[in-house]
């Protein structure tokens, strides 16, 4: 997650999964190239590699999902936009329903901790914790992003920059 605009009227946070997208495209092209090379040398099992190249491209459709979160002070709304190769969605919430931003942490048995930023809704139909991205990752500074959201929310509510330092530590999984 990256803050792409931070002005008093608007805060925009985006997640563009270019790393996984490039990796999946490279993997698909690698399998396609190997399969084509083997097939052109007269071996029929090169078709297996060419067929296997469809797997990374299929995963690209499933996992390459751009997320954009817009905090709009003038409208008093929060807009979640998600776009993938399959389609897009947009969900709008009232800005005053958002309590704060937190960082959720997941610990795996074979690797280090991974994180994601989530918003806490204390009221309204969407009460609960809502992650900004569906997946955890270890790229970027999640705590800084949560702090920027909390500072912007405090400023938008007229609380000033000093009182906007909310705790951004969230639950761990």
Checking if the pLDDT of 169 tops 70, the result is: no
- HEC string for the chain: CEEEEEECCEEEEEECCHHHHHHHHHHHHHHHHHHHHHHHCCCCCHHHHHHHCHHHHHHHHHHCEEEEEEEECCCCEEEEEEEECCCEEEEEEEHHHEEEEEEEEEECCCCCEEEEEEEEECCCCCCEEEECCCCCECCCCHHHHHHHHHHHHHHHCCCCCCCCCCCCEEEEC
Domain topology for 2-17+64-172: PH-domain like (2.30.29)
**What's the pTM?**
0.74
High-pLDDT (> 90) share of the chain, %: 51
Q: In the structure encoding, which two tokens stand for residue 64, read together?
A: 């390459």
| Closest to 60 in 3D by CA, of 29, 85, 82, 81 | 85
CA 63 to the chain's CA centroid: 10
| Closest to 152 in 3D by CA, of 69, 36, 66, 40 | 69
- pLDDT tens for residues 78-125? 999 999 888 889 999 999 899 999 999 988 777 788 899 999 998 878
């Amino acid at each position: 997650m990256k803050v792409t605009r931070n002005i008093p009227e608007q805060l925009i946070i985006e997640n563009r999964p270019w790393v996984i997208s490039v990796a999946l495209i490279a993997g698909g092209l690698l399998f396609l190239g190997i399969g084509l090379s083997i097939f052109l040398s007269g071996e029929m099992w090169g078709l297996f590699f060419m067929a296997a190249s469809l797997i990374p491209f299929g995963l690209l459709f499933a996992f390459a999902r751009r997320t954009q979160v817009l905090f709009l002070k003038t409208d008093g709304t929060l807009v979640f936009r998600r776009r993938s190769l399959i389609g897009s969605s947009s969900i709008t919430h009232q800005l005053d329903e958002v309590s704060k931003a937190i960082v959720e942490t997941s610990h795996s048995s074979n690797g280090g901790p991974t994180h994601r930023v989530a918003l806490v809704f204390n009221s309204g139909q969407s009460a609960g914790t809502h992650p900004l991205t569906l997946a955890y990752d270890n790229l970027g500074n999640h705590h800084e992003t949560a702090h920027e959201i909390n500072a912007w929310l405090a400023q938008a509510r007229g609380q000033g920059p000093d009182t906007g330092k909310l705790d951004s530590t969230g639950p761990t999984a």
